[in-house]
Amino acid sequence: MPRGRSPGYEVQRDAILAQAAHLFARSGYPATSMNQVAQACGLSKATLYHYFEDKYSLLVSLTDGQVSRLLLLVSPASRDSLTPAQAQQQLHALICSFVAEYVHAQDAHRVLTEDVKFLQPLDRERVLGKERDIVAAFARLVGGIRPDLDQALLAKPLTMLLFGMINWLFTWMKPGGSMSHDALAPMVADLFLGGLGALALPLGLDLPAGVLAQAGKHVKKRVTKPNLKGDSA
Amino acid sequence: MPRGRSPGYEVQRDAILAQAAHLFARSGYPATSMNQVAQACGLSKATLYHYFEDKYSLLVSLTDGQVSRLLLLVSPASRDSLTPAQAQQQLHALICSFVAEYVHAQDAHRVLTEDVKFLQPLDRERVLGKERDIVAAFARLVGGIRPDLDQALLAKPLTMLLFGMINWLFTWMKPGGSMSHDALAPMVADLFLGGLGALALPLGLDLPAGVLAQAGKHVKKRVTKPNLKGDSA
DNA sequence: CCTACCGATCGGTAGG
DNA sequence: CCTACCGATCGGTAGG
């Protein structure tokens, strides 16, 4: 079909999307002008409009592309029922692959989380539907790790807390900061899985503050590799 | 000084700020027009400009007001050194008070997190400075709970993960959803404190997935009040 | 003199 | 692929 098109057509489109993602991520979709996008790409505005029909199609391509890429990451995880240990292993791996994807497409991810509200209803519902599928896959693993938790009532909110940690990462992480990206993924996974394992039921009651985490500290003496440096408690 | 002003002047200003927060939260600062703000307030645009010098002063008042309110919440927590149990109790209370404040000022909080990028450098630095003070107060408590953690290297990133959970709450919680606001705060606190207690050192190594959380599950048998319903592991 | 407010319109700039 | 523009709307302000 794209016979008459330049072989660099898709390359140029991707380059424009990358520049648009960077500008949208920095200033938001409404505050970014097509003049800025064209200038960042080294193109005239008229040339830019040769590759994309309008400004809105940039937003659709960026958000739908990013959420579709994330959805591909969770597809292999949609397996049959798992043992808690298997679910835990899969969730750990999934967290790491998501963090890695965010590092790879930081700008597009920011556009996905912050500018989805500027999509028209039909486009927004399609994107949000894919997001729901992603959350459902995570929640299934969370429920698989703790089958005693009420799936709808607790696994889903817990999963959203996990997404909060992950999605918030790049609002405060500077590339080249003291925290390396590689160190963060296991930190998120260990914090969440540790907290998930330590959760007692029922939640929502006024448990005395500290009972859970205080108990959690005893764990360290039982870890197979007691590599704790010290404890002044 | 404001002798000649109407007694309702401050009331009207607050009403305008609330409407502006709602519109900014929904559509972002750049995409919200002063006409919309005026219409939402039931005022003419000229009257709106009587209460606020320009659109930008709305943004400054909203962001600075919200971050200042949050800073007030942590001020009492800036105490001398604490035992881990005391720090844990304070952090639990602080998480609950933050979630409650977010519920109370959901719109303003969204403006603070999403539109701070539209502040001019000086205003932005002032707001971000207050945010840094808030994070530092939280990180101090996190370090107080786990004095074995390297403060700068681990307590601060862990604190940012906590803020991720909290700040992300209202991107997915609908008012009137199945999850009550009151049930969420202890859920966040228990998940974080439980995970914090279960964390082993050193992080960043490729620990076998599951070791930490699996160990955390043992804790349940040691909790003073073993209110766990069941465990199929 | 002050405030509180109105209908109408300014100069510039956005997406296209 | 550019300059030159458009219809519409922006933030902000005039006189009264």
Any domain includes B121: yes
Quote the mean pLDDT of chain A. 82
Say if B164 is an interface residue toward chain A (CB within 8 Å). yes
For residue A155, the enclosing domain spans 56-171+181-196
* Chain D positions with any atom < 7 A from a protein CB: 1-4, 9-15
* pLDDT tier, A220 (very low <50, low <70, confident <90, very high otherwise): very low
Any domain includes B82: yes
Q: Flag the least confident range among A30-34, B84-88, B149-153.
A: B149-153
* pLDDT tier, A170 (very low <50, low <70, confident <90, very high otherwise): confident
Any domain includes B27: no
Q: Give the residue with greater pLDDT, B174 vs A136.
A: A136
**What chain A residue is nearest to B172 in terms of C-alpha separation?**
A160
pLDDT given at position A155: 92
Please report, to the nearest 10 degrees, the dihedral formed by the alpha carbons of residues B60, B66, B68, B73 taken in order. Answer: 180
Residue position matching structure tokens 């108990």 = A215
Residue position matching structure tokens 């800025």 = A36
* pLDDT tier, B178 (very low <50, low <70, confident <90, very high otherwise): low
Any domain includes B148: yes
pLDDT given at position B166: 96
**What chain A residue is nearest to B131 in terms of C-alpha separation?**
A172
Any domain includes A104: yes
Interchain CB distance below 8 Å, A223 and B212: yes
pLDDT at B232 over 80: no
Each residue's pLDDT tens digit, A112-142: 999 999 999 999 999 999 999 999 999 999 9
pLDDT at A24 over 80: yes
Any domain includes B83: yes
pLDDT given at position B153: 82
Interchain CB distance below 8 Å, B186 and A194: no
C-beta neighbour count of B192 within 10 angstroms: 29
Interchain CB distance below 8 Å, B204 and A186: yes
Q: Which tokens belong to A179? A: 């925290």
pTM listed for this prediction: 0.84
pLDDT given at position B226: 33
Query: How far apart (Å, rounded) are the C-alpha atoms in residues B67 and B72?
Result: 9
pLDDT given at position A212: 40
Q: Is the CB of B87 under 7 A from strand C?
A: no
Cβ contacts of residue B141 below 8 Å, gap of 6+?
B77, B82, B87, B88, B90, B91, B94
Q: Residue A111 in contact with residue A29, Cβ under 8 Å?
A: yes
pLDDT given at position B181: 77
Q: Which tokens belong to B120? A: 């001019």
Quote the mean pLDDT of chain B. 82
Q: Residue A141 in contact with residue B210, Cβ under 8 Å?
A: no
Q: Report the residue from A30, A191, A197 with minimal CB separation from B161.
A: A191
Any domain includes A8: no
Q: Report the residue from A84, A160, A228 with minimal CB separation from B172.
A: A160
Q: At what angle do helices A181-198 and A211-218 cross, to 10 degrees?
A: 110
Angle made by CA atoms A182, A168, B107, in degrees to the nearest 5: 175
Q: Which amino acid is at B61?
A: S
Any domain includes B153: yes
Domain count, chain B: 1
pLDDT at A181 over 80: no
pLDDT given at position B171: 87
B31 to chain A, closest Cα gap in Å: 6
Each residue's pLDDT tens digit, B203-227: 444 444 443 444 333 333 333 333 3
pLDDT given at position B201: 61
pLDDT given at position A88: 94
Query: How far apart (Å, rounded) are the C-alpha atoms in residues A132 and A126?
Result: 10
pLDDT at B64 over 90: yes
Say if A81 is an interface residue toward chain B (CB within 8 Å). no
Say if A27 is an interface residue toward chain B (CB within 8 Å). yes
Q: Which tokens belong to B201? A: 């050192």
Q: Give the residue with greater pLDDT, B90 vs B173.
A: B90
- Identify the CATH number of the domain in which residue A111 sits: 1.10.357.10
pLDDT at A200 over 50: yes
Percent of chain A at pLDDT > 90 equals: 55
- Residue B6 burial (10 A CB sphere; 0-12, 13-18, 19+): exposed
Each residue's pLDDT tens digit, B27-57: 999 999 999 999 899 888 999 999 999 999 9
Which residue's C-alpha is at the least distance from the C1' of C1? B4
B44 to chain A, closest Cα gap in Å: 25
Query: Which residues of chain A are within 8 Å of residue B190 when distances are taken between CB atoms?
Result: 195, 198-200, 203, 207, 212-213
For every residue of A49-112, DSSP letters joined together read HHH-SSHHHHHHHHHHHHHHHHHHHHGGG--S---HHHHHHHHHHHHHHHHHHHHHTHHHHHHH
Each residue's pLDDT tens digit, B117-148: 999 999 999 999 999 999 999 999 999 999 98
Q: Is the CB of B7 under 7 A from strand C?
A: no
* pLDDT tier, B152 (very low <50, low <70, confident <90, very high otherwise): confident
Q: Which amino acid is at A3?
A: R
Q: Flag the least confident range among B27-31, B60-64, B111-115, B172-176.
A: B172-176
pLDDT given at position B199: 85
Q: Is the CB of A45 under 7 A from strand D?
A: yes
Query: What number of C-beta contacts closer than 8 Å exist between A and B?
Result: 290
Average pLDDT over residues B166-192: 85
pLDDT given at position A6: 61
